Amino acid sequence: MRVDDPRDRCPHCGAVTWERDLAPGFEYRDGPKEGDATLCAHCGGLSMYCDDMSRRLPTLGEIDELFRDQRAREAAAFVRAIRELRASLS
Protein backbone atom coordinates (compact mmCIF):
# COMPACT_ATOMS: atom_id res chain seq x y z
CA MET A 1 0.00 0.00 0.00
CA ARG A 2 1.13 3.52 -0.71
CA VAL A 3 1.22 6.06 2.13
CA ASP A 4 -1.73 7.94 0.63
CA ASP A 5 -3.78 4.79 0.14
CA PRO A 6 -7.18 5.42 1.79
CA ARG A 7 -7.06 1.89 3.23
CA ASP A 8 -4.27 3.14 5.50
CA ARG A 9 -6.60 5.63 7.20
CA CYS A 10 -8.26 5.18 10.57
CA PRO A 11 -12.05 4.90 10.09
CA HIS A 12 -12.55 7.06 13.20
CA CYS A 13 -10.23 10.05 12.72
CA GLY A 14 -8.77 9.63 9.23
CA ALA A 15 -5.17 9.55 10.47
CA VAL A 16 -2.76 7.59 8.30
CA THR A 17 -1.80 4.38 10.06
CA TRP A 18 0.40 1.46 9.15
CA GLU A 19 0.64 -2.16 10.20
CA ARG A 20 3.64 -1.32 12.38
CA ASP A 21 1.52 1.09 14.47
CA LEU A 22 0.31 -1.75 16.65
CA ALA A 23 -0.36 -1.49 20.34
CA PRO A 24 2.03 -3.37 22.66
CA GLY A 25 1.24 -7.05 22.86
CA PHE A 26 -0.41 -7.16 19.44
CA GLU A 27 2.20 -8.33 16.98
CA TYR A 28 1.38 -9.83 13.62
CA ARG A 29 4.05 -12.29 12.56
CA ASP A 30 2.89 -12.42 8.94
CA GLY A 31 1.03 -9.12 8.80
CA PRO A 32 -2.58 -8.58 9.82
CA LYS A 33 -5.34 -10.71 8.34
CA GLU A 34 -9.04 -10.25 7.89
CA GLY A 35 -10.79 -9.97 11.26
CA ASP A 36 -7.70 -8.81 13.20
CA ALA A 37 -8.16 -5.74 15.38
CA THR A 38 -5.96 -2.68 15.70
CA LEU A 39 -5.97 0.54 17.70
CA CYS A 40 -5.24 3.91 16.13
CA ALA A 41 -2.18 5.49 17.73
CA HIS A 42 -3.69 8.92 17.05
CA CYS A 43 -7.26 8.71 18.36
CA GLY A 44 -7.31 5.34 20.12
CA GLY A 45 -10.15 4.12 17.92
CA LEU A 46 -10.60 0.39 17.52
CA SER A 47 -10.92 -0.92 13.98
CA MET A 48 -10.98 -4.26 12.23
CA TYR A 49 -9.05 -5.35 9.14
CA CYS A 50 -11.08 -6.32 6.06
CA ASP A 51 -9.98 -8.85 3.45
CA ASP A 52 -8.43 -6.03 1.33
CA MET A 53 -6.54 -4.72 4.41
CA SER A 54 -8.74 -1.65 4.68
CA ARG A 55 -10.08 -0.93 8.14
CA ARG A 56 -13.68 -0.76 9.28
CA LEU A 57 -15.52 0.06 12.45
CA PRO A 58 -16.08 -2.99 14.66
CA THR A 59 -19.52 -4.37 15.40
CA LEU A 60 -20.83 -4.24 18.97
CA GLY A 61 -20.29 -8.00 19.19
CA GLU A 62 -16.65 -7.66 18.13
CA ILE A 63 -16.06 -4.91 20.69
CA ASP A 64 -17.59 -7.05 23.44
CA GLU A 65 -15.48 -10.06 22.45
CA LEU A 66 -12.23 -8.08 22.21
CA PHE A 67 -12.59 -6.34 25.54
CA ARG A 68 -13.03 -9.62 27.37
CA ASP A 69 -9.31 -10.05 26.62
CA GLN A 70 -7.03 -8.46 29.24
CA ARG A 71 -4.42 -7.60 26.57
CA ALA A 72 -7.00 -5.62 24.59
CA ARG A 73 -7.99 -3.63 27.69
CA GLU A 74 -4.33 -2.93 28.49
CA ALA A 75 -3.62 -1.84 24.91
CA ALA A 76 -6.61 0.50 24.95
CA ALA A 77 -5.43 2.00 28.26
CA PHE A 78 -1.94 2.49 26.78
CA VAL A 79 -3.32 4.37 23.77
CA ARG A 80 -5.55 6.51 26.04
CA ALA A 81 -2.49 7.42 28.14
CA ILE A 82 -0.62 8.51 25.00
CA ARG A 83 -3.58 10.66 23.93
CA GLU A 84 -3.78 12.29 27.36
CA LEU A 85 -0.04 12.97 27.33
CA ARG A 86 -0.24 14.53 23.85
CA ALA A 87 -3.16 16.71 24.98
CA SER A 88 -1.28 17.88 28.06
CA LEU A 89 1.72 18.92 25.94
CA SER A 90 -0.28 21.02 23.49
Instruction: List, for residues 19-74, the tens digit of each pLDDT value.
Output: 545 555 555 566 778 998 888 877 888 899 899 888 899 999 999 998 899 988 88
| Strands 55-56 vs 37-39: parallel, antiparallel or unpaired | unpaired
Cα distance between residue 14 and residue 12, in whole Å: 6
User: What is the sign of the dihedral through the CA atoms of 3, 6, 8 and 10?
Assistant: positive
**Over 50: is that where the pLDDT of 2 sits?**
no
- Residue 87's Cβ-count burial label (10 Å; 0-12, 13-18, 19+) is exposed
Answer for the pair 12, 57: CB distance below 8 angstroms, yes or no: yes
3-state secondary structure of 61: helix
Q: For the whole model, what pTM was predicted?
A: 0.71
